[in-house]
Amino acid sequence: MANNEFTGKTAEEAVQTGLTELGLTREEVEVEVLDEGKKKLVGSRPARVKLTVKEKLTDGERAVRFLEGLFPIIGIDVTPALKEEGEKIVINLNAESARGVIGRRGELIDAVQTLAGAVANTGRRDYKRVVVDCENYREEREETLKRVAEKLAAKAVRTGKRMRLEPMNPYERRIIHSALAENEEVTTKSEGKEPARFVVILPKNMRQGGGRKFDRNGKNDRGGKYHDKERRNDRFGERKPYPKRELPAEGTPESSGTSFKRDSSSDTGYKKGGFSGFFGTYLGKSDDENGEE
């Protein structure tokens, strides 16, 4: 009998016998039942199983194996290779078209990196950083972000206004924070919610009200007008109140928008309380139409 085949009264008993002899757990082996065994009136046939030790993969190897199955599904010809596995896991993607793997602004390769990180850290208590790269994209992107951070920091100090960068993933936001950590003229912070969280650069000489300026015509740098009541009154003068409208005396027929009355003794006049409103068309039925006298 092969050294990875074991017997017992039942298949489960045979599995337990094999695990004990191999010193392994059920999760570390693959079980193949060769014979369920059978009880007979006279005697019985034992159950027989085959235990195969599962291939043990490192965290990085497990992530690479996952990516090898992922790319054919999404229709991209890519060969992932484990480049480094120590304090962090680095996986390099070899492809004919780097642009097809990286995607617009790195969206595709960032998504692949997130999935690879989730697979590599499955079952781990401490998180290990996973980097998925293609033709040094990560290094070039980091240098670009550092240049953008320095440029916008200088602009923030020059204008006295806060500068907002485009939404980035946590890794790229850390690059911005790190690039400006020693800059004594600005501070940085992250705002917004994932996946649209972004970095804001705040100059320490930032002007009140966001640094807006007003010209002599009362317009700010965004084309709007100020709403300072005192300055407005200095320019245009105090606003005068509208004159109070005196209502005409009761009984004046020319009083538009006021109620009017006529003597109740008049046969053709309006009765007291019969109508009180504004001039206009009355959209109702008359008494004659209703057949009333």
The pLDDT score that the predictor gives to residue 288 is 43
The pLDDT score that the predictor gives to residue 38 is 79
Q: What are the structural domains, with CATH classification, of the chain? A: 5-53 (no CATH), 59-135 (3.30.300.20), 139-208 (3.30.1370.50)
pLDDT in tens, 63-76: 999 999 999 998 98
The pLDDT score that the predictor gives to residue 242 is 58
Read out DSSP for the chain? --TTEEEESSHHHHHHHHHHHHT--GGGEEEEEEE--EE-SS-EE-EEEEEEEPPP--HHHHHHHHHHHHHHHHT--EEEEEEEESSEEEEEEEES-HHHHH-GGGHHHHHHHHHHHHHHTTT-SS--EEEEESTTHHHHHHHHHHHHHHHHHHHHHHHT--EEPPP--HHHHHHHHHHTTT-TTEEEEEES-TTS-EEEEEETTPPGGGG--B-TTSBBTTS-B---HHHHHHHH-PPPPPPPPPPPPTT-TT-TTS-----TT-SSSPPTTT--S-SS---S--TTTTT--
The pLDDT score that the predictor gives to residue 2 is 54
The pLDDT score that the predictor gives to residue 269 is 47
The pLDDT score that the predictor gives to residue 249 is 58
The pLDDT score that the predictor gives to residue 247 is 58
The pLDDT score that the predictor gives to residue 276 is 45
The pLDDT score that the predictor gives to residue 259 is 44
The pLDDT score that the predictor gives to residue 69 is 94
The pLDDT score that the predictor gives to residue 14 is 87
Kindly give the parts of the chain with pLDDT less than 50. Answer: 1, 211-216, 218, 221-222, 225-234, 254-293
